[in-house]
Amino acid sequence: MGSFFRIEGSRLIRECRNEILWIEPWGANSLRVRGTKRAEMEQQQDWALLPKPGGDAAEISISDDGRSAEIRNGKITAKIFSNGKVTYYNSEGRLLLEEYVRSRDNLKEFVSALCINPREYSPIPGTNDFRLTVRFEANDDEKLFGMGQYQQPYLDLKGCTLELAHRNSQASVPFLLSNRGYGFLWNNTAVGKVTFGKNVTEWYAGSVQQMDYWITAGDTPAEIEEAYARATGTVPMMPDYAMGFWQCKLRYQTQEELLEVAREYKRRGLPISVIVIDFFHWTKQCDYKFDPEYWPDPEGMVRELKEMGIELMVSIWPTIDKTSENFGEMHEKGYLVRFDRGNSIVMDWMGNTMFFDATHPGAREHLWKIIKNNYYDKGIKIFWLDEAEPEYSEYEFDNYRYHIGTALQVSNIYPLMYAKTFFDGMKAAGQENIINLIRCAWAGSQRYGALVWSGDIHSSFRALRNQLRAGLNMAIAGIPWWTTDIGGFHSGDIRDPAFHELIIRWFQYGAFCPVFRLHGDREPHTPPMGTSGGGIFGSGAPNEVWSYGEKAFEIFKKYMFIRERIRPYIKEIMREAHEKGTPPMRPLFYDFPHDPAAWDIDDQYMFGPDILVAPILYEGQRSRKVYLPEGAEWKCTIDGRMYSGGQWIECDAPIENIPLFLRNGNGADLPIA
């Protein structure tokens, strides 16, 4: 019997039982793995990955009997056996990851009557697509991190099942980092799920033409993360203004209201960098322009804000109202998301709307031309890209169809393409250091200036705890720019002392997030101001830092000025994010991988290399246990004491303070206390 293997350039190919399998180098210490049971491999789409780096070389060998082969690229080696099983090793020969196979192979260690294949392609009748399942062996000692943003209390994802799909407050970014020394990207835009089970790890995609994943090996989390950033791109350099304080509420109803808030910040001598105009400032969804009744002079508004040193961010939705002035042309040109059955309305909140199809190049260019004319050319250089999942009234993924494929095949790429729409337009206009706030992301979104926030979350300590873990897993998933609505979005009552405590603790945490942004739909609501255009929707209660009483205001002010004082430090960690992909906020194990305890801590994090943050996450809590990683000395900013690393301590946390520790006492360079 001849060999199933052959070598083409730097690519190892196996063809057996109608499956084509490719393994090839894709960046240092990394491999891209593709497989299909179609007649040939699709090579046009790299999805999350940047084009293959030049100069990649690999050592490839096929055994003398033709029953096995291996490919080595730097620190990673893949071995393939006769039954198709692929196993990955690091440079020391230590096992990293192995496919799950139970087959009747004459290699003794694989003998099993179960006949379970590692890669299962189940044909979908009447199509060229498959339902794809890829299985890997589980390891009891493994810890897994990343995968994006899920509303749950877990940092270590071992034992979890995750939907590979986007929803409001859920962003599927399918890259994981293992404590065994590898990173893994499921390079597939299809809706599916992954189970990190005790007995098996199983990736599933509901409608694909081929398997596609990328794997890298590294000696530290930082090395793995940097390899992933090289493969998928890094964020731009964050503009200086974005490192300060952002003021937002639901919603400023008029131009004069917004300007008066900005003026009050200046009268009080408070630092503010960005102020936000939220939704329904427009005449109609998809008209993409200010309602002149409530926003009569956008250019003058932008000019006055810039004179105060404040950037204006404006909310944009991808919802296209069927009665808007732009609907007819966009519909006729095929620029809207289609559907296979039922009514042609995909969202019916505040109007009957469809979504613009961000996967269509013509639709992206068309939308940007409108935005440029009505906003960008008026001086607005930062946008809030809401509804980016997109948020369907019903998440019927089998019903929607995009320019590049069905929703089951490609919908996870929508937020990346939505961000790209604005990034490409702004870049073509000559702008550098582009940043836009967006409610969802996929792998690679970071290279298009995506600042992700965690969606319409509840105002509660439970939600705060979930956001802490979500933000850290987003960081590991390669999305370094991330933020929350400080105080949560839903149900915060500005008259409630219990909410005052929550928003104080959230504000303290927010000061040490990549972006420091106050937002929320506060109670009690204010009524609409009119019956059409920008007047048809009301607003929430005031949400400025002086809206919660004098005690809260003094605490807010303290942390606003702390944030200002450490902006040179923030600039350096943002430069590292831009240059290397280093996440500004990250779990303790990122900086202390050789401390076993650091891998188990899920309620503390590092903000850059020198600030350890231990947020207060429970109502009424006035002290907490803090773990100080070994390998450093730690200065408490509350009492000024120095502590040796490698120990737990009890730290006081009065309402005025969040526990912070400076690595090796870097107090002179970090004026926090």
Q: 17-27 b/e with 16+ CB inside 10 Å = b?
A: eebbbbbbbbb
Q: How much of the chain, in percent, has pLDDT values that exceed 90?
A: 90
Give the pLDDT confidence score for residue 112 in this predicted structure: 75
Q: Identify the pLDDT of residue 529.
A: 93
Lowest mean pLDDT among 25-39, 110-124, 433-447, 651-665: 110-124
More confident site: 340 or 461? 461
Q: Which tens digits make up the pLDDT trace of 392-412?
A: 988 899 999 999 999 999 999
Is the pLDDT higher at 346 or at 51? 51
Element (H, E) at 32: strand 30-36
Could you tell me the residue ranges of all domains in the chain?
5-232, 242-319+357-393+405-580, 587-663
Residue 83 confidence (pLDDT) above 60 = yes
Q: Decide if pLDDT at 413 tops 90.
A: yes
Tens of pLDDT, residue by residue over 610-660, are 999 999 999 999 999 999 999 999 999 999 999 999 999 999 999 999 999
- Closest to 258 (Cα-Cα) out of 534, 475, 600: 534
Which of 164-173, 364-373, 507-516, 660-669 has the least mean pLDDT? 660-669
How do residues 600-612 score in pLDDT, each as one tens digit?
Answer: 999 999 999 999 9
Confidence bin at 3 (pLDDT 50/70/90): confident
Amino acid at 636: C
Contact between 23 and 85 (Cβ < 8 Å): no
Whether 5-232 and 587-663 share one fold: the answer is yes
pLDDT in tens, 114-166: 888 899 999 999 999 999 999 999 999 999 999 999 999 999 999 999 999 99
- Is 385:438 a contact under the CB 8 Å cutoff? yes
Q: If pLDDT is split at 50, 70 and 90, which confidence band does 96 have?
A: very high
CA distance 502 to 455: 18
What is the pTM assigned to this prediction? 0.97
Report the percent of the chain where pLDDT is more than 70.
Answer: 98
Interhelix angle for 497-510 vs 461-476, to 10°? 20
pLDDT band at 110 (very low <50, low <70, confident <90, very high): low
Cα distance from N-terminal residue to C-terminal residue, the chain: 73
pLDDT tops 80 at residue 344: no
Q: What pLDDT is recorded for position 111?
A: 65
Query: Mean pLDDT, to the nearest integer, of 518-528?
Result: 96
Q: How confident is the model over 205-224, as a mean pLDDT?
A: 98
Cα–Cα dist 111/618, whole Å: 52
Mean pLDDT of the chain: 95
Assess contact for 278 and 249: CB atoms under 8 A. yes
Residue 108 reports pLDDT greater than 60: no
**Hey, what CATH class is 587-663 in?**
mainly beta
Is 1.10.20.140 the CATH classification of the domain at 5-232? no
pLDDT of residue 107: 54
Catalytic residue ranges: 386, 389, 456
Look at residue 106 and tell me whether its pLDDT is greater than 60: no
Q: What is the pLDDT of residue 669?
A: 67
Q: Alpha-carbon distance 281 to 315, whole Å? A: 9
Residues in Cβ contact with 354 at an 8 Å cutoff, skipping those fewer than 6 apart:
319, 320, 322, 327, 331, 336, 337, 344, 345, 346, 347
Instruction: Identify the band that residue 342 occupies on the pLDDT scale cut at 50, 70 and 90.
Output: confident
CA–CA distances in Å: residue 177 to residues 148, 220, 222, 477: 11, 10, 10, 8
Q: Which pLDDT does position 351 carry in this prediction?
A: 81
User: Coil, helix or strand for 376?
Assistant: helix
| Tokens describing residue 263 | 């003026």
Q: What is the pLDDT of residues 544-589, one digit of tens each?
A: 999 999 999 999 999 999 999 999 999 999 999 999 999 999 999 9
Q: Per CATH, the architecture of 242-319+357-393+405-580 is what? A: Alpha-Beta Barrel (3.20)
Q: Are strands 623-628 and 647-652 parallel, antiparallel or unpaired?
A: antiparallel
The pair of structure tokens assigned to 223 is 């090395």
- CA-nearest of 627, 613, 611, 624 to 654 is 624
Q: Is the dihedral of CA 446, 399, 288, 171 positive or negative?
A: negative
C-alpha–C-alpha distance, residues 28 and 116, integer Å: 32
If we measure between CA atoms, which residue out of 572, 639, 562 comes closest to residue 609?
A: 572
